[in-house]
Each structure stands twice: as C-alpha cells, then as structure tokens.
Structure 1
Amino acid sequence: MSFSPAMAAPRLFRPAARLLSSRLSAPRRPAFPQSACAPFILRSRGYATETGVKEVTVRDALNEALAEELETNPKTFILGEEVAQYNGAYKVTRGLLDRFGPKRVIDTPITEAGFCGLAVGAALAGLHPVCEFMTFNFAMQAIDQIINSAAKTHYMSGGIQPCNVTFRGPNGFAAGVAAQHSQDYSAWYGSIPGLKVVSPWSSEDAKGLLKAAIRDPNPVVVLENELLYGQAFPMSEAAQKDDFVLPIGKAKIERPGKDLTIVSLSRCVGLSLDAAAELKQKYGVDAEVINLRSVKPLDVETIIQSLKKTGRIMCVESGFPMFGVSSEILALAMEYGFDYLTAPAVRVTGAEVPTPYAAGLEQMSFPQVDTILGQATKLLRL
C-alpha cells in the first residue's frame, strides 16, 4: 500500500475526519501516521527460513544476541544488578563475564537511579550500553533518567546528540510476585516521544529485536517476560546466524486467517494462538494472529490490512484496560479502518486491579485462553 508524505503527518495535528475524504459509497483507503510507520534505519535481515531449525529458549536467544553484539562492537557493554558474577538474575548473561571480562559486563549496586544514569551518560559519551533491570517494576526508580535524559536529548539537541542505550529486563506478570512486581509498562514507555519500545514473544523475536535495539542510535526499551525465558521456540538457520536482525516497527503474522484479526504482544501472543486453534477446531473460524513485536513504532499498516480482510479486530494484552496498548490500536483502527469494520472492536486486557498474590486471583486478573475464546465468540456471535 502506498501513501504520500502529506498523508503521514502525526494525527494529533491532522484529524482523520478532515483528511480522509472520499465518497460514502466507496471504502476509504487508510492513511498511516509517520510515527507509526517510521522506516527501519538499519540494514537488517527481516525473515527466517525453515531449513536447519532447532529449538532455542528465549533465555539462550537473548544470551546469544548479547554475546554477538559484545563480540562485534567494542563500544557495547552490559551493566546491572547481578549481571556478572551471578550470571544474571534470570541467567540471561550467563558466561559473558568469563568471555568478555569485568570491563564489559559490570555488576552494579542495587540503585537503579544510579546505574541507569551511568548508562545514559555512557551513551551520551558515545558508548552503547545495555542496562539490565532485574524487573521493569524496579525501573520506576530510574524513570527520570529514562524519560528526561535518554528519551529527550536527541530532540532537544536538534539531532546532534544521539543516545544509544538499551534498557532490557522482564516486564508484566510472572507467577506469585504480587502487585509491585507484576505491572506491564508497555503503554507507559510507548507514550513517550523519543523512546522505541519492543516486546518479544519467541526466541527469534528476542534475538532479532535485542540486536536491533543495541544497534539503534535511539534509546530502546526491550520488554521481556519472565515466564518466557525458559520456553523453547523453533529458531531457523537464518536466525542462528550473527547477522540476524529484526526491524523495529514491523509486526509478524503468526497465524493467517480470514474471519477475525487478533493483535497481541509478548506472552499473550501464545495465548492468542491457542485460542485461535480452539476457534478453528470448535467453530471452523480462521483467526489471524498478529504478533506486534514492536509497541513503538506500531506497524499500523499490517494491522489495517488484516482488518480490511477480516472485518473484525480484537486486541489482547496483559496491561490494564485504561489507556493501554489495546486502546491505542483500536483508536487507530477506528481512524484508519472504520469502513472495514463489520463489528465493534474488542479489547481483552488485564483486570483493573493491582495484581493479587493468591494464585487463583492472580490467574483471574490476566487474560487466559478461555477469556480470549469467550470474547471472540461474542464478537463473532457464535
């Protein structure tokens, strides 16, 4: 789909109702905001073949990405709590201290504001730090450094001063870690100009997106999920190579379909795929499942093209329902795909409640396969 630069201005300054002029009898062609469809600045491999496939855990894929970037780029280093001698709280940095030494893999005190500030300062000095948070809930202690220092400096310097820093760690719900360790920050960081935000699901996502984040001259937030670290996914021969990089801002259609578009991210992609399989088995419904991969920039074109095909859209995320990633996607669907909708758009999100510690209540507070399936059947009137 092609669109002119004039159609690509941010929608805050260009209400869709004023610009999408067409006859009522003909469907409007969607226009996409520039911020959502920004071109990927790196020369990167964006595909994966099916030959030479092997099973790789998300943890090992992240470790491989870090090792490859440390090997090829002397400006890259890692810092964070327990990343060196303990091999990382989740063993993502296992073996890197022995391989690259204490100047490249650095243990820090338990002071997120301090070591995050060090990472941002190093990036402003021309290095490419990877700042690991034991959980993004702890990154709240460093929110000033992430937003006011890292995200805004490039713009405020008139494009002169880049800030190549990568913030990574587990985000969202885990298991039995209660309210203060379970929050999903996708929408928080996605709302900040100057930050790029990615949220991998599979092992290929994890490796390709982390490598892209480290190479990107902008600050990038990599939101992983603790429950995915030990999960193994097929990794293609292409993805096993050290030149495998996925483009930031490009979604992936994990399951093609014609009856319903399901847009999801992180661990909820797997839940959505399971729900889609049940829809097919029980009702003969072909649901298309889109793995966002990138929260910001959003791949609006892939979403709208899918909506154009299916006529129905449902977004699934673990974040809170108010002002979330799903809210933004459905707003964009209304702006750029309203004429394609044959049913109201639907969200499946986490509950509007601090995450309970009790296992039964915890399970009820996040999307499950049955939750997704139930909302899909209502949407499809099955």
Structure 2
Amino acid sequence: MYQAVRDAMSIALAKDDSAVVFGEDVAFGGVFRCTMFGRERVFNTPLTEQGIVGFGVGLALMGHTAIAEIQFADYIFPAFDQLVNEAAKIRYRSGGTYNVGGLTIRTPTMSVGHGGLYHSQSPEGFFMGASGLKVVIPRSPIQAKGLLLGSIRDPNPVIFMEPKILYRSAGLFAVEQVPVDDYELPLGQAEILVPGADLTLLTWGTPVYHSKVELIDLRSILPWDVETVAESVNRTGRLVIVHEAGMTAGVGAEISAEIQKRCFLKLNAPIKRVTGWE
C-alpha cells in the first residue's frame, strides 16, 4: 500500500506544477518510505505539526496544491486548531470568496501491534464535528491510490488517514491490479464488499480484514455514505459497526444514531458497536 500512496503523489506532482509535498523527514522518504520519489517540490519541515498545517493552509490559500504529512496521526493534535478553526472554516468565513480546497493532510493511523500509547491511536472521530473537512481511510493499495488522488483533487481540505499496519501487509489483500496510470476514486461513497442477508457489518481501514457477512467499507468517514448503509440495514435488519478507536464518542456513535432513526422499523436487534478499548 505504501507504494500505491507514493505512486499517487508522484502522479499529482507530475500533473500539477503547483503541487508540493512537505512534512517531517519526507525528503528522506519518510518513516514509512511513502515519499521516495525525488526531492523536487518535496521538502522537510521543522518538527511542528501546527506549523506544517498552518503552512499548508497558507499555500492552499495562494492557489497551490499542498500535500502535507503528519508523521503519525497521534501527533495531529497540536495542529487541531489550524485544521478545525482555519482550514475547515475559511470558505464559510469568506462567503465563498476563497478556500483551502487544495490542502490534503496525510497521516499514518491505527495500531500496528507495537508502538504503545503515542503510535497506535485512531483519532478520526475527533474531526467528525468539523464541518468543512473531509476524512478518508483506505483499506488497500488500489483504494489508497484512487482515494488519495481523489482527496488531492477534491475542492475541500481532506485528512487522509493511512492504516500503518497495511503499508506492507501484502498477504492480507486479494490480488489487486493497481492502475499504473492516473486513477481516481470519489469521496463519500461506501462500498459493499461482501453482500449478505442477515447482518450489515460496517467498518473501515484495518478491521475490514477481520470482518465477515454483508461487509461495507465506509472509506470516507466525513462525509459518510448514509444512503448505502441505510439501504443495506433495511435489507438485513441488523447492524454491527467495527472500529479500532474507543467506543465513547467514536464514529460508530454518530452512525448508530442516524441509522437507528432511518431504519428503526426494519431493525431486528439493537445496533451493536465493536471497538477498541477505551
């Protein structure tokens, strides 16, 4: 998957002269070697997440395509103010006169089997209340390439969260022919991976590979594809939501509330959440 991420950025740089890639150690290839494609318009920044995102906001305001990397999602919180109070709101505060739609924030997320408290978090839920942002989590190489190019070209700022354990987990994936050429997937559309009749199981990222029955990969966390999920639950009568983040105020709570409202008369059992420990 790391090769697909790298390929997507290479295409973005080749086709867009205004595009730049920046972050901590990216000129050396980055911790996960996702940025090993030359140093032209690829440069290191100081160790300041707030500065990285603030710099990206400024670049995007000037019309550039800014592709920033936060080295681990666990360290995105110093940039929370820049993301939620600046990037998410600039189009609204200017009445549509200007925006930072050219800003994409890439960051490795979720657990990896080691790494402890500062390298294993799933912070996607913190951004669900930030209208103006989009949040995307790919499950595989072809999804990573298509969704990353879709994020870079989307007219809104996007946080693109890459499950780090999947970077080199080739054995998990079915055989995928990742397009060599430009390849883009739309944001905000879920995908039914395994059709079923008795239960809808909804997840994203790494847990896709631990789930069975009618399985939906949500792919975009914000906006999330409520129509696809509701249609599935109306057919199956049951919904289980799986995510690595903790249960309290997790993304599953928002989805559960909305599906309960839309599908109440078709539900055969309460919606269940299977999550990481608090």
TM range (shorter): over 0.9
Q: For 2:258, which of 293, 309, 332 is the aligned residue?
A: 332
Name the aligned partner's letter for residue 216 of structure 1: D
Q: Is residue 260 of structure 1 aligned with residue 199 of structure 2?
A: yes
Are 1:91 and 2:91 an aligned pair?
Answer: no
Distance (whole Å) between structure 1 residues aligned to residue 63 and residue 246 of structure 2: 37
Task: Give the superposition deviation at 1:241.
Answer: 4.3
Q: What letter is aligned with 2:37?
A: G
**CA distance in 2: counterparts of 1:191 and 1:178, whole angstroms:** 27
Which blocks of at least 5 consecutive residues in structure 1 are unaligned?
A: 1-57, 277-286, 353-382
Query: In structure 1, what residue type is equivalent to 2:126?
Result: W
Matched, 1:292 2:218: yes
Identify unmatched segments of 5+ residues in structure 2. none
Amino acid aligned to 1:326 = G
> Given the alignment, which residue of 66, 71, 95 partners 1:134?
71
Tell me if the contact between 1:316 and 1:349 (Cα under 8 Å) persists in the aligned partners. Answer: yes
**Equivalent residue, structure 2, for 1:235:** 176
Whole-Å separation in 1 of the counterparts to 2:38 and 2:264: 50
Residues in 1 aligned to 2:128 and 2:103: alpha-carbon distance in whole angstroms: 16
Q: Which runs of 4+ in 1 moved over 6 A?
A: none
- CA deviations 1:172-222 (Å, max 9, x no partner) are 222321112222111111221110000111111111111011101211000
Taking the aligned partners of 2:24 and 2:249, their CA distance within structure 1 comes to 31
User: TM-score, normalization: structure 2?
Assistant: 0.96
1:219 aligns with 2:157: yes
Equivalence for 2:61: 124
State the AA in 1 paired with 2:120: S
**Aligned twin of 2:107:** 169
Structure 1 counterpart of 2:57, which letter? V
Per the alignment, residue 3 of structure 2 pairs with 60
Tell me the secondary structure at the aligned position of residue 137 of structure 1: helix
- Cα RMSD (Å) of the superposition? 1.1
TM-score scaled to structure 1, two decimals?
A: 0.70
- How many residues matched? 274
Match of 2:132 in 1: 194
Contact 1:198 1:248 in 2 (8 A): yes
In structure 2, the residue matched to 1:317 is: 243
Larger C-alpha radius of gyration, 1 or 2?
1
SS of match in other structure, 1:262 = strand
Which is richer in strand? Answer: 2
CA contact (8 A) 1:187 1:324 kept: yes
Q: Which has the higher contact order (CA 8 A, sep 6+)?
A: 1
Task: Give the match for residue 186 of structure 2.
Answer: 247
Q: Residues 23-82 of structure 1: CA distance to partner in whole angstroms, max 9, x if unpaired? A: xxxxxxxxxxxxxxxxxxxxxxxxxxxxxxxxxxx1011011000111111111100011
Contact kept, 8 Å, 1:67 with 1:96, in 2: the verdict is no
**SS of aligned partner of 1:224:** strand
> Percentage identity across aligned positions?
39
1:292-311 CA distance string (max 9 Å, x none): 00001111111011111111
Aligned to 1:379: none
Q: Tell me, in whole angstroms, the C-alpha distance in 2 between the residues paired with 1:190 and 1:304.
A: 19
Matches of residues 73-84 of structure 1 in structure 2 within 5 Å? 73-84=16-27
